[in-house]
Each structure stands twice: as structure tokens, then as C-alpha cells.
Amino acid sequence: MLKKENKTDVIVVGAGPAGIACAVTIARAGRNVVLIERGMFPGAKNMFGGAIYTNSVKDIFPNFESDAPLERRNIEHNFAILGESDSTTITYRKNDNTSYSVIRGKFDRWMAEEARKAGVYVVTETVVRKVIKEGKRVVGVSTELEDYYADIVILADGVNSLLAHQIGLRKDIETKDVALSVKEVIKLDKDTINQRFGLKDDEGAIVEIFGGSMLGMLGLGFLYTNNDSVTIGLGITLNELVENNYKPFEILEKLKQHPSISHLIEGGTLKEYSAHLIPEGGYKKVPKLVDNGVMIVGDAAMLVNNLHWEGTNLAIVSGKLAGQTAVESLNTGDYSKKFLKKYEKDIKESFVMKDLHTYRNLMDIAHQRKKAFFSYYFKKINAFFDMFTSVDGTPKKENYHKFIKSIFTDRKLTELFKDAWAIIRLLWSILI
């Protein structure tokens, strides 16, 4: 028998995008839901790059484009490959509203306020320490102050998810399956940002950064424009940082000094510094998502598509699907693992698992061939443009021959074959 004190229909742990989307879905179906967050307010502890994606947020909050605290509408994506002091950048510009830059401290807080209006009981400054089980079933959670009981508990407590680990749904995270990310928010006035990035007031730009100070490690840098600040950071797989004994903020410092980056942040003042882990394991590392009386969503379930920098949308969709299953489970009074597996089935049929499945071999291949793809070929791309743009009296044909010859002298033929084979394997698994 469940204890009656403090009992509610559903407890959701963690007020990030996954937990909020989940709690709202349940409250809108007329059920009681308590959302427990450790931060002083939702978003206080959260950081990301970052961009939120319109279609997933709009699905939960149709009014968000007019009401939410958004920074800029991202109209430009830059892909910058950095060399020692040179760089090659591809720019894609499209005037649409696919994504917005946001500051999580403001945005998560706004979403949680909307959740409150929808009937969610939001508890802040409360850390959930333990999941309570009766027999084989999860029946509640323990906080520092008291125990809360519910028919269903949903864990949306982010990448570390100590709670999912406690009940055996998650194993220890391997250091190669997470990236350690550090970022700075640098204050700059709006006009300077507009001028430097060629933007109008509500328009934003994203720069995805490869190579440079990341020294061939498996990692990427990023830069996002906010209203009156710029976010710059990077994420590198934790095993590489540990093996090489690199300090991520030193790498970030070097990145900021690169001539292709420094002018974008010049004159700015540091407003905020933060660090966070990103799940990088992909499809093969997604754990079992349900057990009796419990489901896991968002980063806690390792649902991140790292190639596309998508995490909040996967979190929101998984939260919504788990919320829907919770409502059906409450309606039938069946809280068993067997019933809750409907959430696993729904998520498999959604773009979330389909996309993770598409890239199921990406990280294995990236780990195997990182020296090639995160160092050698980046150098070669910059070397090509160096050759192509040089004007020194050398006949062009000679330059081309020299460049082609260097491909075969700088890298062994067997390695080039292995690289080509890796690309074929990767494309095969993505497209077929």
C-alpha cells in the first residue's frame, strides 16, 4: 500500500525542458503533478550553447514566440575550420525562425511559470536524494526535508541522473560517452554585435567551430549571439581531456585568441562562466527508459543528437511522450513496467530515436578516426585554400600537383584507405 501523506499522481524530478514539458502534459490532462527542482528557480543551474528549436517548443507552448524571453532568431549558420592562424568558413543564411538563442536562466524560468499556470505544482530549492521503492515498484522520492509519494515518478534530472543510476536504469557513465563543455557569456552592446555579424536587431548568428585549439581532440566549439552578449564555448570528450591532462578553460582561452574569433568578442566583458556535461554516447548508450512506476526522459535518458547540436528538442519530445503515457497509466491504474513500455515504443517511433539510430555508428567511427577527421583533413582544407588563394608567381598547375602529392606523403596510403572506408561505412549506416 502506498503511504497517503504527500501523495500525488505524478512526481517529475528536474525542471529543465524535459521535466517541464512532461509536467505540463500531465497537468493539462487534469492530473496532479509535482515538479521538483534543486535550483533556486528553474534554469538557475542550467546551461547550454544554445539554441532552442521552434517546432518542439511551440508544440508545448504555442505562444512562446510572442511571450517567452528569446534572445535572437538564428538566421545564419557558420561552419568554421580553424588552422593555426588561418580558417575556412562556410556560411548558410536563411531568414526563418527554425531556432532562437536563449539564456536558460530566463527561458526555463518562463517555461516553468507557464507550467505553474497550467496547474503544475513547482517546488524549487529542493534536491531529490533518493528514489523510494516498495518491492519492485518506484513509489516516490526522498528530499532533504521530506518524502513525496506518487503513482508514477519521472526522472528528468539531466545528464548525471544519479537517481536513474540508483535504481539500476543507468550504468556509470564512461568518460568517452560524455563531453565536458565550458562556456563564457561575454557582454557586448547590441549595435556592436549587429555590426560584427551583419545582423539586424532580432537576427542571430551561430558559429560552429572545428579544429584550432582543440588540437585534434574529439570536440567542437560554438558561438551564439544573444541580445547584448555573445556565448562562446566548446565541448570535448572527457576521456581525451583526462588522457591529455588538458584543462578545458585553457583551450577555450586559446580559442578566444584565434585571429578568426578574437575580433568577434573584442572589447567584451565576461558576464558568466559555466561548465556542464553533454551526453555523447548516442543510440547505443540510451538506457532502458522505464521500470515499474518510473520513466526517464531527456538528458537523463542520454537523448542528445550531438552532430546537430540538438538536445532541448529531444528532451521536450521525450518529456511529452512520457507525460502522455503517465496519463494513460493513471487512467487505467496500471503502473507496471509492461504498461509504461508504451513510452519506449512511442519514442522509438518518433524522430528522437530514429535520428539517434541514423547516427548510431558516428561516435564509434569518430573515436577510431579522430586524428584523421579532427586534425589531418581540417589542416588539409585550410592548406587547399592557402594554395588556391596564394599569388606568388608559381604556376597554378605546379601548386595543384604539390598539394595532391602532399596528401600522399603526409599520410600513409593505408591510413587514407582506412579513412575512405570509414566514410563509406558511416554514410552507409546513415543513408541505408
Nearest-approach distance from CB 265 to ligand FAD, in angstroms: 17
Nearest-approach distance from CB 43 to ligand FAD, in angstroms: 7
Nearest-approach distance from CB 328 to ligand FAD, in angstroms: 22
Q: Which three cell numbers stand for residue 254?
A: 586559446
Q: Which three cell numbers stand for residue 225?
A: 549571439
The closest alpha carbon to 89, from 382, 384, 383, 389, belongs to 382
Indicate the SS3 state at residue 214: helix
Amino acid at 146: E
By beta-carbon proximity to ligand FAD, the closer residue of 13 and 209 is 13
Cβ proximity of 304 and 280 under 8 Å = yes
Nearest-approach distance from CB 179 to ligand FAD, in angstroms: 8
By beta-carbon proximity to ligand FAD, the closer residue of 4 and 94 is 94
Nearest-approach distance from CB 277 to ligand FAD, in angstroms: 7
State which H helix or E strand residue 128 sits in: strand 128-134
Nearest-approach distance from CB 422 to ligand FAD, in angstroms: 26
State which H helix or E strand residue 78 sits in: strand 72-82
Nearest-approach distance from CB 270 to ligand FAD, in angstroms: 17
Task: Give the phi and the psi of residue 411 in degrees, each rounded to 5.
Answer: -135, 135
By beta-carbon proximity to ligand FAD, the closer residue of 239 and 382 is 239
Amino acid at 71: E
Nearest-approach distance from CB 66 to ligand FAD, in angstroms: 21
Q: Which three cell numbers stand for residue 339?
A: 504498461
Cβ-Cβ contacts under 8 Å for 228 (sequence gap 6 or more): 187, 188, 189, 190, 193
Binding site for ligand FAD (CB under 6 A): 13-19, 36-39, 45-46, 48-51, 127-128, 156-158, 181, 183, 233, 235, 276, 278, 298-300, 304, 309-313, 315
Nearest-approach distance from CB 391 to ligand FAD, in angstroms: 40
By beta-carbon proximity to ligand FAD, the closer residue of 239 and 312 is 312
Query: How large is the C-alpha radius of gyration of the chain?
Result: 23
Distance CA 384, CA 380 (A): 6
- Strands (E) in 215-297, as ranges, are 219-225, 229-237, 269-279, 290-291, 294-296
By beta-carbon proximity to ligand FAD, the closer residue of 50 and 282 is 50
Distance CA 249, CA 220 (A): 14
By beta-carbon proximity to ligand FAD, the closer residue of 46 and 361 is 46
Cβ proximity of 324 and 282 under 8 Å = no
Indicate the SS3 state at residue 412: coil
By beta-carbon proximity to ligand FAD, the closer residue of 15 and 120 is 15
Task: Give the phi and the psi of residue 68 in degrees, each rounded to 5.
Answer: -80, 155
By beta-carbon proximity to ligand FAD, the closer residue of 48 and 335 is 48
By beta-carbon proximity to ligand FAD, the closer residue of 105 and 293 is 105
